[in-house]
Chain A
Amino acid sequence: MTATIYTGAQVRRLRRFNTGGAIISVITLLGVIFWAFPIYWALATSFKPEQDIVRPGLDLIPNSFTIEAYAHVLLNTNIGIWYLNSLVTSGAVTVLVILMSAAAGYAISQLDFPGRRVLWWLILASFMVPIPALIVNHFVLMAEFRMLNKWSGVILPQLLAPVTVMIYKQFFDSVPRDFREAAVMDGATEWQLLFRLYLPMNWGITTALAIITFIGAWNAFLWPFLAVTSERMMNVSVGITQVTDAFGVKYARDLSSAILAGLPVALVYLIFQRRVTQAIMLTAGIKG
């Protein structure tokens, strides 16, 4: 290892970077506080007694702390079953979408076949059609296939995920051609290219897309609402509407049920977040 010798001028420039960099970091951290505040405020409110919430004055930290709002939702509803349904349907949607989209994205990006352009436009088109236009059709179709009120019926229409394909295609496109050419010269088949080169190089985006897909499926409301008739098949976002109502002053109740609905996903994200950032960094590590 040779030591790097800087000139005086270069040292001065390096130091200037650090002040500029520090300012940027401070601004970022201020942004963090601002961004996180609404969620903090919702959390704080959900732990206050209802009467405290509408009393004049500002309690940034709850004066009295109560879990009554949460207890009501947890004890009086079938939230356990709803969690299960959400888990199964969201998980299935995520796995299937990732598999199908990576495959399709790869095919469109790297292979040459008749109808390739048409397919690409089709995918873009499906992103451009607004969902309310298709949802009744889906309902009639699922009714005909006798899939209403079943996991399969909830899952199927949610497999339409053009954005995932678009993103995969874009990231596969950005893999430098030298890698591909080198591997092809070594005699790699398309399958090997996909599984040994393109996918590994893009774990970061795969993880990100998996999270995004999971979140989308977990939060879906309109379709699961229409597709499911019995409470035992409801997912959290539908089931929770049974508890939230328009009566009285129920800010804490509304917010706590909202937080309970979103909690599992938030926890999963926070736990796996390190993995996410690492996976994204790994992508860079393969370079050179």
Chain B
Amino acid sequence: MIFKTMKAALVTSALMVSAAQAQQVVEWWDFLGGGDGVRMKTLIEEFNTEHAGEIQINATTLEWGTPFYTKVQTSAAVGEGPDIMTYHLSRLPLGVSTGALSPITADDLAGVGLSGDQFATANWEAAQVDGTLYAIPFDIHAIVLYYNKDLLGAAGLLDDAGIPIGLDSVEGFTTAMETLQTNGAEYGVSFQSAGNGTNWRIFYSLLGQQGGSFIDENGDFLTDDNFDKAVNAVQTMADWVSNGYTASDVEYPASIALFTGGNAAMHINGVWEVPTFTDLHAAGDLFEWGAIELPMFFSEKATWADSHAFAIPNNAGNELTAEERAAVMQVIAWMNERSTFWATAGHLPAFNAARENEEFRTMQPNATYSVLAETAFFDPSSVLAGVASPVYDAIGNYVYPAIGGEMTAEEAVTEMRDDLDNQNY
């Protein structure tokens, strides 16, 4: 009888040991399509090959934007969410307020040797809400100035290294566009002037470059001189349109086509379009081009930035076990170490080491604009901000018409501030 029990105990413990060594499957959701998606798939495959038998990532890609975040929230609430997901840091406050995210503890970090000083300070702060860490940054993506080397060279606007000169300051930029148009370009610059995406990013950068902030410590919008700085930002953009340097009401793909077709000498857009231009150039379908950090129009350097980060959902009733959590953290650490490869999508790795190695230093055009990581100006921390949020809506409703000349900059900023303050409760 005793032998039987002992045998049973042995078998059970043997099973337990092998169970502990069994493969962990990490359920992964992301919203990465296009050039991003291709590269992420490569990374995931590489991880799975390296970790065969230990950890496997089971990845699903879902539609970007509000659908993704809705799905995360509803699934987490019934315990059907994933183990790990990509997340925009700009959406973190809203996500945390709905209880959909699980805090990342110091133990979690220590277990894989990650810490805050391995990331840019602003980036690490943006990953926290009220001092608690909810996500680990993966990349920084910002807007940059793309330019047509041929056209700028012909207009005498490039230095010996092929980098544009004289663009810093509002007057400098305007003069440059003037010159370019005299030399034959239809538009000095093109960007998505219809809608809220790029308009927000440029506006916010201009605001930051004046030392302004969108929201104050109390959560009120555009208070004191921030209001005037905002008006100034909107007015600058509206002037570009009214003076004919750029077209109004241009949709996103059309704005890119204007650049690639040679109609616009410069183009302001996110770093995520780098693969587009790289591929076109490699196929012989594009002129010599480059990308630099956004010019310093005002007194400080600042560029709008958001960050793709990894977050762990709060699966009600189905939380991660310690082993599962450890596996997830391992995935995150591994991804961050490999994020130099991710940068080929145009982004900047959030992990400092991945920005400081040789491979990244020689990666073009990233290396040229990677300096913006130090002055990255992340979206305001508010439940009203982030991708597809009321802040974005407000831009579409007020700033966009102002840029097109249908409203004065003052009216636009007033309405926007009042609208957002009203929603603040």
> Residues of A at under 8 Å CB distance from B?
51, 54-56, 136, 139-140, 143-144, 148-149, 222, 225-226, 229-231, 238, 241-251
Contact = CB atoms under 8 A, between A and B. Distances in A.
A243 B272 CA distance: 16
A68 B122 CA distance: 42
A249 B272 CA distance: 13
Given A140-B78, A245-B34, A230 B273 contact: no
A136 B74 CA distance: 8
Interface stretch (B157-165, B254-262, B364-372): B254-262
A245 B33 contact: yes
Given A51-B285, A143-B78, A250-B253, A226 B71 contact: yes
15 contacts: A51-B260, A51-B285, A139-B78, A143-B80, A149-B80, A225-B71, A226-B74, A229-B82, A238-B63, A241-B33, A242-B63, A246-B34, A248-B35, A248-B273, A248-B275
Interface string B160-185: 00000000000000000000000000
A139 B76 CA distance: 12
A284 to B, nearest CB: 46
A99 B139 CA distance: 53
Contact of A247 (B29, B67, B74, B276): B276
A249 B260 contact: yes
Interface in B19-56: 29, 33-37
A139 B74 contact: yes
Interface in B238-267: 252-254, 256-257, 260-261
B35 A241 contact: no
A156 to B, nearest CB: 16
Contacts of A241: 33, 62-63
Nearest to A56: B261
A200 to B, nearest CB: 44
B253 A249 contact: yes
A230 B261 CA distance: 40
Contact of B70 (A54, A149, A226, A242): A226
Nearest to B60: A231
| Majority DSSP secondary structure for residues of B touching A | helix
A116 B64 CA distance: 46
A229 B318 CA distance: 15
A241 B257 CA distance: 22
A143 B260 CA distance: 48
Contacts of B74: 136, 139, 226
B389 interface: no
Nearest to A225: B67
B30 to A, nearest CB: 10
Given A54-B254, A229-B80, 4 more contacts: A139-B74, A148-B78, A248-B256, A248-B275
B86 to A, nearest CB: 14
Contact of A231 (B61, B78, B261, B285): B61
B260 A245 contact: no
B78 A229 contact: no
A248 B34 contact: yes
A49 to B, nearest CB: 9
Contacts of A250: 34, 253
B75 interface: yes
A229 B276 contact: no
A226 B66 CA distance: 12
Contacts of A148: 78, 80
Contacts of A246: 34, 64, 252
A235 to B, nearest CB: 13
B36 to A, nearest CB: 8
Nearest to B78: A143
A243 B38 CA distance: 10
Contacts of A149: 80
Contact of B253 (A56, A238, A248): A248
B61 A242 contact: yes
A241 B252 CA distance: 18
Given A231-B60, A247-B34, A54 B75 contact: no
A245 B67 contact: no
A55 B71 contact: no
A246 B253 CA distance: 8
Contacts of B36: 245, 247
A180 B261 CA distance: 71
